[in-house]
Every structure is written in structure tokens, then in C-alpha cells.
């Protein structure tokens, strides 16, 4: 009789251990949707990198309108915006690095996403910040144009290639996992 109780207790412990292990392992890996959101969707923050659009948006941070008192600027709006964006991108990169990739496809997506962030973050911290500071100080258009042209020439092609590769992988991944995405087509 004692042997039966001991066997039942051992079986219950084994089942409990199995349940706890399963819960722990499932908590460590992300759902395909969460993986997609972190590794691919968050890169939308940089989709205008090395483009005239981004330059215009940064410069627009400094515009004041005489007939709108609330548009009066302190003089550091563009720089603050770029610094904040760089901080956000660093946080996004850390989240991507922490992703657990389950398979070659997710490993490649994670690698491409990391490469993308590692390309753009230093440019935001250096070239785009320098551009923003010139905008904040109402510097010359020639100085602003020189920085933007340098960014486009030095980083534009590499960024576009990496971003396009990541989006191609993302479209395939989303289709395989039935993730509904509006690709803006």
C-alpha cells in the first residue's frame, strides 16, 4: 500500500515538473506576432532614413509662425527630437537582441534587424544631430544640404538594401504565420 502512494506521489511530481518546464519554456519564446512586431514592425521608425523627407521633418521642428504664439521655439527642438529618436532606436535594438529566434528564418530576420539599427543609430547620433543643431541655430541651407547629401551618399544605398531585405523577409514571415500586415501598397 505504501508503495502505491509513493508511486502516485512520484507521478504527480513528475507531471507537475513537466507542466512547470513547459510553462517556463513557452514564456521564454515569443509568439510569431510579437517577434514580427519587435524585429520588423518597429523598424518603421527609420523608413525615411537618408531621405529628403527626414531632413524636412527635422527642419520643420524649428519653424515658427508669427501669427501663432504657441509656435515660439526654445531653440533646441530639432536636437531634442533627434536625441530622443536615437534613444528610442537604442531601446528597440536591445529588444531585438533579446529576441529568441526559433529557426534559421527568425535568426536571419533578427540579424537583418540588428544590422539595420546598428547602421542608423550612429548616424542619428552624429550626422543627423549635427544637421539638427544647424537647423536649431537657423544655419545656412548650404551647410544643411551638405550634411544631408553626405548621409544619402554614404549610407543611403546600404540602408535601402538592408531595409528592403528585412521587409522581404518580413512579408514572407507574416504570410507563413498568418500575421495581418498593411504594407502600405
Across the chain, what does the average pLDDT equal? Answer: 88
**What dihedral angle (degrees, nearest 10) is formed by the CA atoms of 36, 39, 45, 51?**
-110
Q: What is the pLDDT of residue 26?
A: 47
Q: What proportions of the chain, in percent to the nearest 5, are helix, strand and coil?
A: 80, 0, 20
The Cα 142–Cα 138 span in angstroms is 12
DSSP 56: H
Q: Judge whether residue 9 has pLDDT over 70.
A: no
- Which region, left, alpha or beta, applies to residue 184 given φ > 0 means left and ψ of -120 to 50 means alpha? left
The average pLDDT across 32-40 equals: 95
C-alpha 6/C-alpha 3 separation (Å) is 5
In angstroms, the CA 22 to CA 26 distance is 6
> Smallest Cα–Cα separation from 181: which of 39, 64, 78, 48?
39
pLDDT of the residue at 2:
52
Per residue in 46-104, pLDDT tens? 999 999 999 999 999 998 888 888 878 888 999 999 999 999 999 999 999 999 998 99
- Residue 176 is placed in which grid cell? 507563413
Decide if pLDDT at 163 tops 50: yes
Amino acid at each position: 500500500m505504501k508503495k502505491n502512494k509513493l508511486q502516485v506521489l512520484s507521478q504527480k511530481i513528475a507531471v507537475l515538473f513537466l507542466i512547470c518546464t513547459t510553462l517556463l519554456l513557452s514564456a521564454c519564446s515569443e509568439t510569431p506576432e510579437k517577434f514580427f512586431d519587435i524585429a520588423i514592425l518597429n523598424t518603421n521608425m527609420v523608413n525615411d532614413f537618408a531621405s529628403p523627407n527626414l531632413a524636412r521633418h527635422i527642419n520643420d521642428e524649428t519653424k515658427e509662425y508669427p501669427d501663432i504664439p504657441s509656435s515660439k521655439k526654445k531653440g533646441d527642438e530639432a536636437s531634442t527630437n533627434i536625441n530622443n529618436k536615437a534613444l528610442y532606436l537604442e531601446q528597440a535594438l536591445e529588444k531585438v537582441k533579446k529576441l529568441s529566434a526559433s529557426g534559421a528564418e527568425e535568426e536571419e530576420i533578427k540579424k537583418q534587424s540588428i544590422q539595420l539599427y546598428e547602421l542608423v543609430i550612429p548616424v542619428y547620433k552624429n550626422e543627423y544631430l549635427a544637421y539638427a543643431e544647424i537647423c536649431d541655430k537657423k544655419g545656412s541651407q548650404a551647410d544643411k544640404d551638405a550634411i544631408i547629401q553626405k548621409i544619402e551618399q554614404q549610407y543611403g544605398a546600404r540602408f535601402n538594401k538592408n531595409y528592403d531585405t528585412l521587409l522581404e523577409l518580413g512579408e514572407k514571415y507574416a504570410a507563413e504565420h498568418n500575421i495581418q500586415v498593411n504594407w502600405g501598397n
